[in-house]
Amino acid sequence: MVRKALVLGLLALLAGAGVQAQTATAATAAPAANAVDASAIQALKDMGEHLQTLKRFQVSTTLTGERVLADGQKLQHTAAAEMDVDRPNRLHVRMSSSRSERELIYDGKAVTLYTPALNYYSRVELAETLAGLVKRLQERFGVELPLSDLFVWGTPAAPIEQIQSAMNAGQDFIGDDLCDHYAFRQGALDWQVWITAGAKPLPRKIVITNRADEARPQSVSLISWNLQPGFKDTVFSFTPPKGATAVELVPLKTK
């Protein structure tokens, strides 16, 4: 059997194009202290609680990331992802960029990672909730799921205590949706989120700025929702295509 490690994740797709993009939960360096607006923190909690009430839905995103050249010039690249979700433990993700396509299929018992261009797939037995899946894939295999925070907010794993400053930045329209705009500082990252105003708060845009790099590269994610999806349960099943090769998903090395 051919043995290759599959690299999966929207940020991994961008990294393949040379883009530097990071998630808000990855920061560790502590910035100068700033005020934490309790209402901004509460908005995150309300958003998380609402996200956890969503059972069957589709969500898609277009991510624009920046790569900084040695002379400081910035280059932008894009990637996209579409997700079919059926809580508590079924997920189908399709990720694409100009350089690569990946799929992840999770049926609640095993996760399959598929690379259509190579016709390679890897299957790992896992029985987790979606939040648990996010954690296990990241810690065990270094696999980053796009929009993984959607499955973490509203759970005890949400990184509320890591936020070092928070503010309400007013309101903006994202598409046709009036959104409340919030800004946060968390270690070496500044991040912003636009949340639909009203009783059903959903994130519609996320901007992350890496302050560890003096060029301040950013990633911008625009998020769209379909809360009445028409997909069938078969979308969470994977049948290897003709000629597909099973490959090993190699765990991260531990010290």
Question: What is 71-109 written as a DSSP string?
Answer: TS-EEEEEEEEEEEEETTTEEEEEEEESS-EEEEEE-SS
pLDDT of residue 145: 87
Phi then psi for residue 49, to 5 deg, are -60, -40
Q: What percent of the chain has pLDDT over 90?
A: 69
Name the CATH superfamily, with its identifier, for domain 10-246: Lipoprotein localisation LolA/LolB/LppX (2.50.20.10)
At 118-128, the pLDDT tens digits run 999 999 999 99
Q: What percent of the chain has pLDDT over 70?
A: 86
At 239-255, the pLDDT tens digits run 999 999 999 988 888 76
- The pTM assigned to this predicted structure is 0.83
Judging by beta carbons within 10 Å of its beta carbon (0-12, 13-18, 19+), is residue 180 exposed, middle or buried?
Answer: buried
Average predicted confidence (pLDDT) for the chain: 87
CA 84 to chain centroid, in Å, comes to: 14
Q: Is the model's pLDDT at 23 over the cut of 50?
A: no
pLDDT of residue 34: 63
pLDDT of residue 55: 96
